[in-house]
Amino acid sequence: MPSVTPDPSTSETSDALVLGRRIRERRMELGMTLDHLAKSVDRAPSQLSAIENGKREPHLPLLRAIAAALGASLDELLSDEAPSERAALEIAVERAQRGPVFQALGLQPIRVSKTASDEVLKAILGLHQEVERVHRERAATPEEARRANTELRAEMRALNNYYPDLERVARELLERVGYTDGPVSQRTVSGIAEQLGFSLHYVSGMPHSTRSVIDRRNGRIYLSSTLPSRDARAPILRALAGIVCGHEEPKSYGDFLRQRVESNYLAGAVLLPERSTLRTLQEAKAARDISMEDLRDAYAVSYEMAAHRFTNLATSHLDLEVHFTKVHESGTLIKAYENDGVRFPSDALGNLEGAMICRNWTARTIFAQPDRFNPWYQYTDMASGGTYWCTSRVEKAKEGLYSVSAGVRFEDVKWFRGRDTPHRTASQCPDDRCCRMASPELTEKWRDLAWPEAATPTSLLAALPTGAFPGVDNHEVFAFLEAHERAATNIP
């Protein structure tokens, strides 16, 4: 999709268009030919024509000469008003044809001539404006993505984030390689890949924006040789998930999101196998000592995977309703799930991703804690009703720091380690006075003296990624596979 970034030359061009029209209009009023005007300012007629068509802007000395020849003042010629309604219409069509949206379509512009009726020009202008509006809207809100996301969240909530089919697939994969109990080793995961007919290849120079690439032709899975965690289990399983879940090329953004959710779920369900993990959690619950850290350590997975896996099993098997968030250090919500009634901020369409989380919530207060290595627990009194208890942890990623949090209602905290925390805050959000507005004293002091420049978040301007696998460059992926196949089969 072509970009609709405003072209810096547009405003200049439109001024030149108005100026040209004003010169032509004035010349016609005087019954003067183009040749005549050109001669009296000592220029070629083609040059004058370019000026009248707004294709060139005259320098001040020439403009003065033109004004004198036409018996007009500079101010009259430089007025930014079109000389007539018809001229305004012609200018608007010209401007639209010179704009980036029309240019990107690669169509031949029409010549705006005297013979074109007002109706024709108005219809053309209307179409231009509509095309521009649609482009703007699509670039600003990846509508389809938002809708698909909201639907998927509703489904997850209805299932208490527990997918029996995926649990069964995970169990079968593990059984086939002889797994019985406890944590799942790298060797077990390689065994699963082998069982499915794939060999693993760690290479440098993976195509951009890919986590892994599967070569189904040769039965190979490519993974980056510089995996940050040096733990390839989750990436391998996410890659294999597409095969075992029978994922086809996604037909819509909704398909793409669902496949992603399933891949992540399956990776979690294999690395924290249901029966074993449940036993760990039930023992912890009996001891009133449930801890995300313990789960993470017992299965050697990331905190995020442990906390997320906890949400899969909490309601369906432990009778606990929970919430989960992943929040960027800027305060932006990246991932969220709840069935315990906690009220996440959202936009008018019910979309949560990208919303700002209250500064007083655990997911944000943790960033201010000097000790990032100990678990952080906090009670939060919500304006919308109720008190929630959360545990949170900061993890580092390429894009910065993230907090991952899991929590429950006050009445369920009795099962968790960390319930004796002295930390307690109150959140009045979405009331602006809670944490969005500065204090009256600071506002008074700085209101007129602060001039921040906003760093434009890329997501704000980026249109919905296009292509079969959104955001992935097929050109690069195919070239990558071709090169590796050639290397493997010794084709020069």
Amino acid type, 34: L
CB 194 to Zn ion: min, Å = 51
Q: What residues pair up with 333 in beta bridges, in sequence order?
A: 327
Binding of Zn ion by 72 (CB under 5 A): no
CA distance 226 to 446: 47
Binding to Zn ion by CB under 5 A, coded x per residue (else -) over 257-296, reads: ----------------------------------------
Q: Are 389 and 377 in contact (CB under 8 A)?
A: yes
Binding of Zn ion by 342 (CB under 5 A): no
Q: Are 406 and 322 in contact (CB under 8 A)?
A: yes
Q: Phi and psi at residue 458, in whole multiples of 5°?
A: -60, -35
- SS3 state of residue 297: helix
CB 362 to Zn ion: min, Å = 12
Q: Phi and psi at residue 409, in whole multiples of 5°?
A: -70, 155
Three-class HEC string of 23-66: HHHHHHHCCCCHHHHHHHCCCCHHHHHHHHCCCCCCCHHHHHHH
Give 64 or 343: the residue with its C-beta nearer to Zn ion.
343
User: Exactly one of 429, 480, 481, 484 binds Zn ion (CB under 5 A); which one?
Assistant: 429
Give the burial class of 6: count Cβ atoms within 10 A of its Cβ; 0-12 exposed, 13-18 middle, 19 or more buried: exposed
CB 433 to Zn ion: min, Å = 9
Contacts of residue 196, Cβ cutoff 8 Å, sequence gap at least 6 = 240, 243, 244
Give 31 or 385: the residue with its C-beta nearer to Zn ion.
385
CA distance 348 to 282: 39
Q: Tell me which stretch binds Zn ion (CB under 5 A): 16-24, 81-89, 291-299, 435-443.
A: 435-443
Give 245 or 434: the residue with its C-beta nearer to Zn ion.
434
CA distance 90 to 127: 14
Give 369 or 425: the residue with its C-beta nearer to Zn ion.
425
User: Exactly one of 434, 463, 464, 472 binds Zn ion (CB under 5 A); which one?
Assistant: 434
Q: Tell me which stretch binds Zn ion (CB under 5 A): 49-57, 156-164, 410-418, 431-439.
A: 431-439
Tokens of 316: 């369906």
Give 108 or 439: the residue with its C-beta nearer to Zn ion.
439
Binding of Zn ion by 327 (CB under 5 A): no
Give 260 or 343: the residue with its C-beta nearer to Zn ion.
343
CA distance 132 to 123: 14
CB 404 to Zn ion: min, Å = 20
CB 360 to Zn ion: min, Å = 5
Q: Are 390 and 377 in contact (CB under 8 A)?
A: yes
Give 314 or 435: the residue with its C-beta nearer to Zn ion.
435
CB 322 to Zn ion: min, Å = 21
Binding of Zn ion by 358 (CB under 5 A): yes
Sheet containing 212-215, strands listed edge to edge, beginning at the edge strand earlier in sequence: 199-203, 220-224, 212-215
DSSP state of 206: P
Give 390 or 435: the residue with its C-beta nearer to Zn ion.
435
Binding to Zn ion by CB under 5 A, coded x per residue (else -) over 15-44, reads: ------------------------------
CB 356 to Zn ion: min, Å = 9
CB 358 to Zn ion: min, Å = 3
Binding of Zn ion by 435 (CB under 5 A): yes
Give 243 or 434: the residue with its C-beta nearer to Zn ion.
434
Number of residues in contact with Zn ion, rule: CB under 5 A?
Answer: 5
Count the Cβ atoms, other than its own, within 10 Å of residue 377. 21
Q: Tell me which stretch binds Zn ion (CB under 5 A): 74-82, 162-170, 410-418, 430-438.
A: 430-438
CA distance 283 to 278: 8
Nearest residue to Zn ion by CB is 358
CB 343 to Zn ion: min, Å = 12
Amino acid type, 79: S
Q: Could you please report the per-residue DSSP string of 8-28?
A: TTHHHHHHHHHHHHHHHHHHH
Give 339 or 380: the residue with its C-beta nearer to Zn ion.
380
Binding site for Zn ion (CB under 5 A): 358, 427, 429, 434-435
